[in-house]
Amino acid sequence: MVKQCVEGYDLLMPDRSDASSHPCPQSVLDLTERFELHAETYRRQEYNETQVRREFIDPLFAALGWDVDNEAGHAEAYKDVIHEDAIKVGGSTKAPDYCFRIGGARKFFVEAEKPSA
C-alpha cells in the first residue's frame, strides 16, 4: 500500500509500479481546480450523483491508481472496483456506489452523493 495526499488527506492506495512519486497527481489538482471554478453550477440541484461520479469521483480514483473501469480486464472476483456491490449489513443488503478491493478482498466503500446533498 502507498500513502498519497489529496487536499491534505492521506489516502491508502494500491502500490502501482507506474505510480508517480509526486504526493498529489496533477490530474487530482486539475479536478479540484475545475470543481472550485464551477462550484456554483455543480452545487445546483440539477447536477446529479451520476454526473459527479463520472466527472469527478471516477477520475479521482483512477488518478490514484484504481482501475475504476476494469481496463485490465480482470475477472469479476479480482476487479479493483465493484460498482453497486451487494453486501450484507445487519441482516439487510446494501449496495454502496463503490467497493474498492485488493486481490479480491474488500478494503473500503464509497457512497457518492451529489454536491448539493
pLDDT digits (tens, 9 = 90+) for 54-77: 999 999 999 999 999 999 999 999
Task: Check residue 109 and give its pLDDT.
Answer: 95
pLDDT band for 23, please (50, 70, 90 cuts).
confident
Cell 460498482 belongs to residue? 83
Task: Check residue 22 and give its pLDDT.
Answer: 58
Instruction: Round the average pLDDT of the chain to a whole number and report it.
Output: 86
Task: Check residue 89 and give its pLDDT.
Answer: 86
Q: What is the pTM of this model?
A: 0.76
> Measured between alpha carbons, how far is 1 from 83 in angstroms, rounded to an integer?
22
